Amino acid sequence: MKTTFTELVGIKYPIMQGAMQYMSLAELAAAVSNAGGLGTVPAMAFKDADELRAEIKKMKSLTDKPFAFNISLVPEVIIPDKIYEYINVIIEEGVKVVETSGQRPGEFIKPFKEAGVKVIHKVTTVRHARAAVEDGADAISIIGTEAGGHPGSAGVAGHILWAKAAEELDVPVLAGGGIVDGKSFYMAMSTGVEGVLMGTRFLATPEVNTSDAYRQAILTVPEYGTVLTMESLNNAMRVARNKQAERVLVKEKEENITFADLAPLVSGIASYEAMMEGRLDDAQMSVGQGIGRINKIQTVEEIFTDLIDGFNKTHDRMTRLTKE
Ligand SMILES: Cc1cc2nc3c(=O)[nH]c(=O)nc-3n(C[C@H](O)[C@H](O)[C@H](O)COP(=O)(O)O)c2cc1C
């Protein structure tokens, strides 16, 4: 499947796996790249530059296909010196594709551009997409409110954003939010985008870095079983509506709440540790609304086979409809 995005980054299918903090490490990302997509590892999951370098080397040992590293620029937690140190490691190790997210990439994009690294910037609005293209982004991924991770607070459905971004931007656009199978992949591509971004679907795989208790638990979450926390911090996160989410929502209703007040409840590392130990009530479990359509654990390879098969079957159905 050739699109301007597959040509830009050198992959077989226009399918990017979204970075998932602590969870999409080399095993998952390499499996995605080996299956023909673009696997992504979140650089900020590593505590220092040496650990990041080791993970890049691991990726190179697991796949000879293109892959990406994500740099999260979330304003509350960003330490510019550390970001530049990580950027240098990524460039030195010859990573060819980077995804930035969290805020306007601005100056952070420059070293990548100089080194010839392709930059995909992830946004939740078309306005932010335009700003990132001005900064030099080579491609844009745009996610709707359905998405796992941080889908913004505007509450706009993906297909509205995808079509609008594809119409208005002159760089390749990837559609994200709720894409979990061939049908939704086809639906997204029909809006004019050049590829898709998928996160939640890859959580229900053996390759994801998590516990079996977590894998099984997310299969029971219905499409209406998620909620946005952290809206008070202007950093909304879509999570399963469990006990920890309820605790966060209650705390957020207190007056003059600050990041420091909420930090113990929303700490990514604390949630990750709770998930790994099977204490699921104590974890903010980020999942998109597409979770309601996922009912089994599958390997990354099986997911790709289903994605392509489902895409083709949907196309056949659409072609039949035009003839009836
Ligand atoms: C568990 C989880 C963790 C995530 N962590 C990050 C992250 O660290 N950085 C980032 O830019 N996006 C993160 N995301 C967002 C994904 O990269 C992607 O944008 C999103 O999952 C796409 O929507 P979908 O989940 O509906 O497929 C995360 C998503 C999930 C589900």
Question: Both tokens of residue 118?
Answer: 């392709």
Question: How far does the centroid of ligand 1 lie from the alpha carbon of residue 178, in Å?
Answer: 11
Sign of CA dihedral 155, 159, 160, 165: positive
pLDDT reported for residue 196: 98
pLDDT reported for residue 83: 92
Q: Decide whether any atom of ligand 1 lies within 6 Å of the 25 Cβ.
A: no
Mean pLDDT lowest among 8-12, 39-43, 103-107, 239-243 = 103-107
Q: Decide whether any atom of ligand 1 lies within 6 Å of the 14 Cβ.
A: no
CA angle 30/31/36 to nearest 5° reads: 95
**d(Cα 295, Cα 222) in Å, to the nearest integer?**
10
**d(Cα 278, Cα 272) in Å, to the nearest integer?**
10
Contact criterion met (CB below 8 Å) for 108 and 88 = no
Which residue in this structure is represented by tokens 């909304």? 236
Q: How many CB atoms within 10 Å of residue 93? A: 15
Q: How many CB atoms within 10 Å of residue 63? A: 18
Closest ligand 1 atom to residue 286 Cα is: 1
Q: Decide whether any atom of ligand 1 lies within 6 Å of the 101 Cβ.
A: yes
Q: Please enumerate in sequence order all residues whose Cβ is within 8 A of that of 141, keeping only pairs 6 or more positions apart, or say none.
A: 16, 18, 99, 120, 121, 122, 123, 173, 174, 175, 176, 197
Task: List, for residues 22-38, the tens digit of each pLDDT value.
Answer: 999 999 999 999 999 99
How would residue 76 be classed by pLDDT, with cut points 50, 70 and 90?
Answer: low
Closest ligand 1 atom to residue 99 Cα is: 11
Closest ligand 1 atom to residue 101 Cα is: 11
Q: Decide whether any atom of ligand 1 lies within 6 Å of the 71 Cβ.
A: no
Task: List, for residues 135-162, the tens digit of each pLDDT value.
Answer: 999 999 999 999 999 999 999 999 999 9
Contact criterion met (CB below 8 Å) for 202 and 24 = yes
Contact criterion met (CB below 8 Å) for 19 and 40 = yes
Torsion angle of C-alpha atoms 28, 34, 35, 40, degrees rounded to 10: 40
Q: Decide whether any atom of ligand 1 lies within 6 Å of the 41 Cβ.
A: no
Question: Both tokens of residue 163?
Answer: 């079509």
Mutate which of 187, 286, 291, 307 to test ligand 1's pocket (most atoms within 8 Å of Cβ)? 286
**d(Cα 37, Cα 31) in Å, to the nearest integer?**
9
Q: Decide whether any atom of ligand 1 lies within 6 Å of the 148 Cβ.
A: yes
Q: Decide whether any atom of ligand 1 lies within 6 Å of the 149 Cβ.
A: yes
Q: Please enumerate in sequence order all residues whose Cβ is within 8 A of that of 12, keeping only pairs 6 or more positions apart, or say none.
A: 1, 6, 36, 37
Q: Decide whether any atom of ligand 1 lies within 6 Å of the 174 Cβ.
A: no
Question: Any idea how long the chain is?
Answer: 324
Question: How far does the centroid of ligand 1 lie from the alpha carbon of residue 152, in Å?
Answer: 12
Where are the domains positioned within the chain? 4-210, 212-289
Question: How far does the centroid of ligand 1 lie from the alpha carbon of residue 7, in Å?
Answer: 24
Q: How many CB atoms within 10 Å of residue 205? A: 22
Closest ligand 1 atom to residue 17 Cα is: 17
Question: How far does the centroid of ligand 1 lie from the alpha carbon of residue 149, in Å?
Answer: 4
Question: How far does the centroid of ligand 1 lie from the alpha carbon of residue 95, in Å?
Answer: 20
Task: List, for residues 214-223, the tens digit of each pLDDT value.
Answer: 999 999 999 9
**d(Cα 154, Cα 54) in Å, to the nearest integer?**
38
DSSP 206: T
Task: List, for residues 245-258, the tens digit of each pLDDT value.
Answer: 999 999 999 988 88
What does the mean pLDDT of the chain come to?
A: 96
**d(Cα 33, Cα 276) in Å, to the nearest integer?**
25
Q: Decide whether any atom of ligand 1 lies within 6 Å of the 286 Cβ.
A: yes
Question: How far does the centroid of ligand 1 lie from the alpha carbon of residue 249, in Å?
Answer: 20
- The pTM of the full predicted model, rounded to 2 decimals, is 0.97
pLDDT reported for residue 255: 87
Q: How many CB atoms within 10 Å of residue 72? A: 22
Beta strand extents in 49-182 (DSSP E only):
67-72, 97-101, 118-123, 139-143, 173-176
The fourth-level CATH superfamily of domain 4-210 is Aldolase class I (3.20.20.70)
Q: Which amino acid is at 257?
A: I
**d(Cα 41, Cα 108) in Å, to the nearest integer?**
18
